[in-house]
Structure 1
């Protein structure tokens, strides 16, 4: 993976360097070409003016002297012809060269000079600059300068070499940065992949009937190292999920299997009751109470295992289930009124309530969820406490709350109330500490949440947030 990353970074770096170096090199070549053309065009215009003066005055000695000095000083050839095309002054030029002949003919016709090709280090050694002698109406000859491009090409070569060296330095810096970056990024990834592979090797193999989800590697692809890491994560997630399912199934099987011996023990204790002497009656009743508590605990474990096991639910039935939360709240109010009266407490339904609140949960499950906080309120809120049921609708959600103004729970224990087997320090004897965890698991299995909050100035509130049923 590091090699592929380095190749990709190198390609991007080369593209960036070339995108800067190539236009800069072409700009330098164009600028140097224009400088040479402008300089020689000025010289040609000066010779054309001298030639025009020589034609007017009938004396070409000054023109010849100037041309010869120019040839000796710069080493460039100059040819001046008269109106008939005859050579007037020649300083080293080959009058029979086809290019020079064509340039003279074009200048005598007063044609616009052709654009000079851009110079390159490997380009032509000379370039021709031609100008007509006289005005556009009367052309009295032509001047042609055969300019050397050696110096201009040398400048371009030097500048291009500097750009090339700068590009190589930039590429070297890019490569150093790419190597450093790839090591910084991939070193922890390699260590993570190795650690995950070692951990996966120690996990138990998934059961044959376990349905494997679509793998990350199959869904997203990627480099072989990333696919190997994704496959290790897939295997680890599958093994962990399978272990969690097996654990929940073990709890359910154990609770179910122990119910029969407990039922038999209860029958035996009941049959022994007439034979128990009066001195041991209290001990016998305590043993019966402990059996009843153990039975309730096993029932709670079985309910919790069922609530937390996704495979235990019929997904189609869950998706199609819905009920009116307002009606379920009214039913639970009727069912629990007598229990609250017996506990010297008050139960009421908050008003105003919505006319209907369709929630994507069956009436039986919603009633089971609400029964837990209602039962806790009757047992722990205390005498003369008031408990209120409320239903609130939100976009896409239905929120049900059970809140009381009773004794409440200590602030450091609020977040622990949905933990298995946890019971508040103020709770009296009895209870298994599984009611709220079961209700929370039921809500979570249906896409909702159950949270517990403290009421002000005292009391407790249980909020159940469930998805609203989709109107169909």
Structure 2
């Protein structure tokens, strides 16, 4: 947009400069042409008077000498014709076709205009002046004058105008760039701020400064809107965190009371008691996941710590052994990753041990900063993979598997917060791959 504004401003300035420079150049060319006409017509008039006197006296010697000196001095050509059109005197190199000019002069008309002088021509002009008066015309004087000097002066003036126009255009283009930058500074600032907010920096704000007052007001209102949205999101997160935290105590108490009721139950109530305890455990897990999600969104659990991934994965070996699932890790012993990445690996491994059948295999690799957790379980369809990172999403085929539906949503928030990229990919021939691109991961 900045370039389009500069082009628009520059185009308008070009038209403005052209509207000033072109008329000035044409006006000077017309002025210089008129001055040339007046100067040379005065000479032609004087020669016409001398020619009329010479025709009356029958002596052209003085006129011939005068015309020759003039032609030599000014580089012009002069020709004198009588009333019949016959040539009496010619001085200088006369090249113009003077028939039309002679006819007009013999009819009593003098030359009253010339072609406009430009740097490109004409190289000479022709003036005709009748000798004598009215019906007593004795002939005509034809003056062919060079225009070198006049064209040079017009060229100098036009060159000065062109140079001035180019200098003015350069300064105007510079001013247009600064003006466009000044106008668009609030827009640029808003673009930077919206990009930062889209990347998760909800505290980013525009800094009102230079720019049109309307756009500065827009920046202020954008900041107010961002503050309101951030405040609403913070209140929502605080509510979820507080509600989840407050629910933990009554759920714990409820669990203890249900456990204390178990000795007093009759045989037919044991099954109902077991289902109630299972639902209570599921509710406790949901509350714990909600609290974790709220903390992740608030950035409370991203302190920049790094952990060794190898020892973290060894803790899962017993879990997988108890499930009859094989866990294969291709991780360097001292591989270090951010704490958020280790938590994402825990979430992926927890999901895999739920869905991979007995005898299956789960493989964890870390190569070139990319962490992959691949299993050979049932996997997910393309549509399910596109929705699996949403909150509370659960596959219809896994409705009876324990879980809150928040694990992958927490993983997605952790990945976004630490600048990583999380993707769910199909495994061959079947299964699921959780792939995390970690620019900050290092391998010795």
**Structures share a fold, TM > 0.5?**
yes
Question: Match of 1:415?
Answer: 386
Change (3 A) 1:217 1:418: same
Matched, 1:247 2:244: no
Change (3 A) 1:12 1:446: same
SS of residue matched to 2:379: coil
Match runs of 1:74-153 below 5 Å: none
Change (3 A) 1:62 1:244: same
Measured after TM superposition, the shift of residue 27 of structure 1 is: 5.4
Measured after TM superposition, the shift of residue 384 of structure 1 is: 2.5
Measured after TM superposition, the shift of residue 379 of structure 1 is: 0.9
Question: Match of 2:193?
Answer: none
Measured after TM superposition, the shift of residue 24 of structure 1 is: 5.8
2:206 equivalent among 201, 213, 216: 216
Question: Match of 1:445?
Answer: 417
- 2: CA distance between counterparts of 1:34 and 1:437? 85
Matched, 1:228 2:212: no
1:385 equivalent among 354, 360, 363: 360
8 Å CA contact 2:202, 2:230 repeated in 1: no
Question: Match of 1:29?
Answer: 28
- 1: CA distance between counterparts of 2:346 and 2:203? 36
Matched, 1:322 2:294: no
Unaligned runs of 5+ in 1: 1-5, 71-117, 120-144, 157-188, 190-210
8 Å CA contact 1:333, 1:347 repeated in 2: no
Mean alpha-carbon deviation: is it higher for 413-422 or for 334-343?
334-343
Question: Match of 2:346?
Answer: 371
SS of residue matched to 1:462: strand
- 2: CA distance between counterparts of 1:25 and 1:470? 72
Unaligned runs of 5+ in 2: 68-76, 82-115, 118-142, 155-186, 188-200
2:271 equivalent among 269, 272, 282: 282
Change (3 A) 1:264 1:415: same
Q: TM-score, normalised by structure 2?
A: 0.59
Measured after TM superposition, the shift of residue 426 of structure 1 is: 2.2
Question: Match of 1:263?
Answer: 252
Question: Match of 1:126?
Answer: none
Count of residue pairs brought into register by the alignment: 314
Question: Match of 1:178?
Answer: none
Give RMSD over aligned pairs: 4.7
> What are the Cα deviations for residues 1-33 of structure 1, in whole angstroms up to 9, with x where unaligned?
xxxxx9x97897355332354146415634773
8 Å CA contact 1:217, 1:227 repeated in 2: no
Question: Match of 1:458?
Answer: 430
- 2: CA distance between counterparts of 1:60 and 1:243? 109
Measured after TM superposition, the shift of residue 247 of structure 1 is: 0.4
SS of residue matched to 1:426: helix
